[in-house]
Amino acid sequence: MGLIKECIEDKKTDINPIWIMRQAGRYLPEFRRIRKQHPDFIRLCLNKKIVPEITLQPLKRFNFDAAIIFSDILMLPYALGQEVKFTKGLGPLLGKLNFKRIKKIKKADFIEKLKPVYKSIKVVSNDKILKKKDLFGFIGAPWTVFLYMKNRKSPKEFKKNNYIFHNKNERELFRTIIDFLKIHIKEQVNNGASIIQIFDSWAGLLNNEKNKDDLLYKPTKELVKFTKRLGVPVVCFPRGIKDYKTYCKKINPDAINIDYQVDPKKILKQIHIPVQGGLDPKILFGDKYQIKKEAIKYLEIFRDHPYIFNLGHGILPKTKVESVKYLVNLVKDFK
């Protein structure tokens, strides 16, 4: 069993496990070289030869305790037939929604479209570098996936509103997303993902109780239950929410990833399940002294609590490789 699973299941480890969100890609020069030769991001995610290589790149450099499959939460809209493009500087751009076509998608066609992802998971899970380490599969939470599909780009300027479904089509789409996310989780697990992480990057936009019940708590809980029944642990990352205590109570994940805006001391008092993450990714732009000070803060606070070291959001593209190396060694040497 890997250190991360041990931390989640046995609620203890002598050394803190560590991995980093978005560890594959972005800041690694060996990734950028590959990316230059493959301008179409979706096609790159479907490349069975290269995806295992990119996924394992960070583990070749650093003593991480897990790999995360190189893919994207937007592979779901892609597999549902919505066009997804990544344009430099603009982030993802999605094509027009065709509700009628989405309604007709069959399970077998969906799986067929994502088959290369599942094959890559299989290859990575069998690599000897992952012996005693975990492989994260992942999905975007229903709300975040729905928002990208509807908004067709990152919802940066999306008003913090009390979202309501505007019509029957939207309501049905939300249900369809949940159903296909289950299929996506199951295929990842069947092919060797040993933990599932649910990224709810826009959970913080939901700000009334009815909305939270319908769009955050109920659908996420359904997926957490589903994943647990498959026999693998599930980690949730509801970025930007204010009340992690209620979230954990309602959803009951195996571990919770906290974002960098929450006070870890408050979380320690409120939450009784293993915690992952927290460190502000910008700290890695600082010098060794600053990195050490902030990292030790988290390690000290969670000294007697099952804690998986990670960041409070994805690693930033300009992060230096040496800073990551320094951080990993620091976490591993912490006594």
Residues at the interface with ligand CP3 (CB under 6 A): 21-26, 35, 41, 68, 70-74, 86, 91-92, 138, 154, 199, 201, 239, 314
> Toward ligand CP3, which CB reaches closer, 91 or 296?
91
Q: In whole angstroms, how close is the CB of 333 to ligand CP3 at the nearest point?
A: 24
Measured from each CB, the residue nearest to ligand CP3 is: 25
Q: In whole angstroms, how close is the CB of 148 to ligand CP3 at the nearest point?
A: 7
Q: In whole angstroms, how close is the CB of 137 to ligand CP3 at the nearest point?
A: 10
Q: In whole angstroms, how close is the CB of 167 to ligand CP3 at the nearest point?
A: 25
Q: In whole angstroms, how close is the CB of 74 to ligand CP3 at the nearest point?
A: 5
3-state DSSP of the chain = CCHHHHHHHHCCCCCCCECCCCCCCCCCHHHHHHHHHCCCHHHHHCCCCHHHHHHHHHHHHCCCCEEECCCCCCHHHHHCCCCEEEECCCEEEECCCCHHHHHCCCHHHHHHHHHHHHHHHHHHHCCHHHCCCEEEEEEECHHHHHHHHHHCECCCCCCCCCCCCCCHHHHHHHHHHHHHHHHHHHHHHHCCCCEEEEEECCHHHCCCHHHHHHHHHHHHHHHHHHHHHCCCCEEEEECCCCCHHHHHHHHCCCEEEECCCCCHHHHHHHCCCCEEECECHHHHHCCHHHHHHHHHHHHHHCCCCCEEECECCCCCCCCCHHHHHHHHHHHHHCC
> Toward ligand CP3, which CB reaches closer, 68 or 308?
68
> Toward ligand CP3, which CB reaches closer, 285 or 334?
285
Q: In whole angstroms, how close is the CB of 36 to ligand CP3 at the nearest point?
A: 10
> Toward ligand CP3, which CB reaches closer, 202 or 298?
202
> Toward ligand CP3, which CB reaches closer, 286 or 314?
314
Round to whole Å and give the CA distance between 324 and 296: 15
> Toward ligand CP3, which CB reaches closer, 21 or 46?
21
Tokens representing 324 are 């990551």
> Toward ligand CP3, which CB reaches closer, 110 or 138?
138
Over the Cα atoms of the chain, what is R_g?
19
Q: In whole angstroms, how close is the CB of 54 to ligand CP3 at the nearest point?
A: 8
